[in-house]
Structure 1
């Protein structure tokens, strides 16, 4: 009977720009007493809410349990970029797992993007959707990688791509830091917390039920499954575990095969319109091609939202601004000394092979996690695949579930220092242009 370790959950979102600018949302009451459901979803982020919404559209009785508030974790704190594919791209999947697996995953690599856009349109979600994302090369070697990247994605049917050389990328990015870029015209960016809040409201409009402030303390396997909180329990035919980096020991059998990692983000004070246009003339979002990458975009009110840095194990640095500001000012020297209004961090879940973990425990407890930094789009794909799997359509879900996941070297004790050592090596490669 897996039981969560004792943990104290906050009662509100972290102090981020997203929380400060979130659309109004009701505070849902905690679970009290015993109820029943076709499906209990544990976790109120993108994975959980996407799954719940897809299932509600299929007519199932679904209850979501969230330990804090909807979108409290990475779903409400990330960079807000709609980036296609996975953290490991199709060439790596081909080489490691074969052409059949690569074709199966490749056929879904651009689907999460389309799901997000359909959700926004179908349910009229106000989340500041903007078009376009760029991958920026810091070296000639990275630029050659983008040439190959374009050819790879086009081989899998994605053709909305444009290579920009050292001169033409400047029409999109007002920085001299790069040697070129790849523009994905199908990408984009948005306010992630408002997206998940809108999807939660859509789920409730279909009869779905959400209980916030309801951390799960135990899953008792059986037919049905019993999901217990401190003040109540749900008797469910099936369960979806979607807590990602915030599971707190609920599925210990998976812990050695994943690791929480923190990423840091800041938001400047609003910039004047001329400065904003100078930085990002067409308002696309950007991520660079470094192993420990930087990513940035403009908010709806012209703040520069700039993120980067990784802390292994999920701990916050002493000063988020001290981590992020040097790279921000290296990218945009014209912003030296710019006022920063918000800093925050959030945990994502890293797997050793950088591919998401989908699977089943027994026959009726499903899980999806470990998006390794590509969660915005892949979580939305996961929700659709969960709904398919729970409806007996297993082929696409099992394409992910059949991927092998091995534990991090050194186990729980040494996974953090060994991974940090590997990251140091790749950071040196980035700096030396190897």
Structure 2
């Protein structure tokens, strides 16, 4: 816990992936860095997510192409596959033990989904991403024992990790380079100005720059950021250990899987042969009373053979949704930088964001500006109505998923 006064070059608010990635890139470039964390390293989405390395953004590059100019789209498209590479570089360089496995599958439930995956493959290949294989009905049965899929797309540069162990390994790397992380030290006020100061309950950090990386757990610390985003909850369950034989039957090549529905399901095996299965969205980030009751039926729809398997763990956590479903990146004044709103697509993006923010603080702003120039809008109705409006939209898309159109 921070007590007293500290001086640093950069104060990072939040010890999740965005904050830790930023801190690492800055430390590697000679900055003094202090990280403030309200709870523990990886407490938010970075430690609770499903652990899947998924490329691109929550809205794909074709959407970006239609809404921005060709130069900006080209830059964002080139960056869409960088986050996964950064994760692998970090794991190798700092010898992080996080059960890294290669290979992720997008699973199609109908011909419309399959058409989308064919288009996605062409789109990604246009940006130089070639580790892709379309899977027909026979091939997808070889990688996942689910009868519901008509095909899929395998991305060998996708994959999965133990998400909390990745965050803890990155935090250890930050400290090994001389960075300081203060846990249980929530930022309660930012004193803006030429030499900004971040106040905690029992201390303060004087800095040249601030990076705001709290995402869904930022609260109202920076009001202008809260107005354009909404915390949402997602739920995850984990089975008892399945044993090698059953686990290898379900996912013979140990790839992770997500389906192509708007409200998608996602799952993978752990190193001790449990199945982690996630899905569902709670708008406004309320914690459901019974997570297992929400997610177990989804799991059994995919794998009815698990009907007698016990659920050992269930949890929820928040991600930050934007109206455009694209991340919000920018600067407030001359020295407060931020990145937020991964919209459920954060494992790879946050690692890229850390590099882009660090570049901007070093005066290399072209890639930062490509994100910062994306248009963003407040939710209609403000904070009072953003939750029901988003829930209505999700109901509509959920109905489309069920009806297959």
TM range (shorter): over 0.9
Among 406, 423, 430, the alignment partner of 2:394 is 423
Residue 365 (1) aligns with residue 336 (2)? yes
Among 356, 366, 377, the alignment partner of 1:385 is 356
Instruction: Give me the whole-angstrom Cα distance separating, in 2, the residues matched to 1:99 and 1:178.
Output: 35
Q: Which residue matches 2:35?
A: 64
Q: Deviations over 1:326-376 (max 9, x none)?
A: 010000010013100000011000001011000000010000110001110
Instruction: Give me the whole-angstrom Cα distance separating, in 2, the residues matched to 1:195 and 1:152.
Output: 30
SS state of the match for residue 142, structure 1?
Answer: helix
Instruction: Give me the whole-angstrom Cα distance separating, in 2, the residues matched to 1:254 and 1:382.
Output: 16
**TM-score, normalization by structure 2:** 0.99
Instruction: Give me the whole-angstrom Cα distance separating, in 1, the residues matched to 2:66 and 2:32.
Output: 41
Instruction: Give me the whole-angstrom Cα distance separating, in 1, the residues matched to 2:120 and 2:49.
Output: 24
Unaligned runs of 5+ in 1: 1-29
Q: Which residue matches 1:9?
A: none
1:286-365 matches, within 5 Å, as 286-365=257-336
Among 153, 165, 168, the alignment partner of 1:194 is 165
SS state of the match for residue 232, structure 2?
Answer: strand
Among 92, 109, 116, the alignment partner of 2:63 is 92
Q: Deviations over 1:134-192 (max 9, x none)?
A: 00001111011101110010011101000001111101000101110100011110101
**TM-score, normalization by structure 1:** 0.93
Q: Deviations over 1:406-430 (max 9, x none)?
A: 0111110001001100100000100
1:20-419 matches, within 5 Å, as 30-419=1-390
CA RMSD of aligned residues (A): 0.6
SS state of the match for residue 96, structure 2?
Answer: coil
Whether the 8 Å CA contact 2:219–2:226 is kept in 1: the answer is no
More moved, 345-354 vs 98-107: 98-107
SS state of the match for residue 79, structure 2?
Answer: coil
Instruction: Give me the whole-angstrom Cα distance separating, in 2, the residues matched to 1:213 and 1:393.
Output: 33
Deviation at 1:99, TM superposition (A): 1.9
SS state of the match for residue 120, structure 2?
Answer: helix
Instruction: Give me the whole-angstrom Cα distance separating, in 2, the residues matched to 1:367 and 1:37.
Output: 18
Unaligned runs of 5+ in 2: none
Instruction: Give me the whole-angstrom Cα distance separating, in 1, the residues matched to 2:227 and 2:265.
Output: 28
Instruction: Give me the whole-angstrom Cα distance separating, in 1, the residues matched to 2:95 and 2:226.
Output: 38
Q: How many residues align?
A: 405
SS state of the match for residue 308, structure 1?
Answer: strand
Instruction: Give me the whole-angstrom Cα distance separating, in 1, the residues matched to 2:288 and 2:392.
Output: 17
SS state of the match for residue 318, structure 1?
Answer: coil
Instruction: Give me the whole-angstrom Cα distance separating, in 2, the residues matched to 1:337 and 1:415.
Output: 40
Q: Deviations over 1:202-253 (max 9, x none)?
A: 0100110010000011000012101000100011000000000001100111
Q: Which residue matches 1:23?
A: none
SS state of the match for residue 208, structure 2?
Answer: strand
Whether the 8 Å CA contact 2:37–2:184 is kept in 1: the answer is yes
Instruction: Give me the whole-angstrom Cα distance separating, in 2, the residues matched to 1:272 and 1:177.
Output: 24
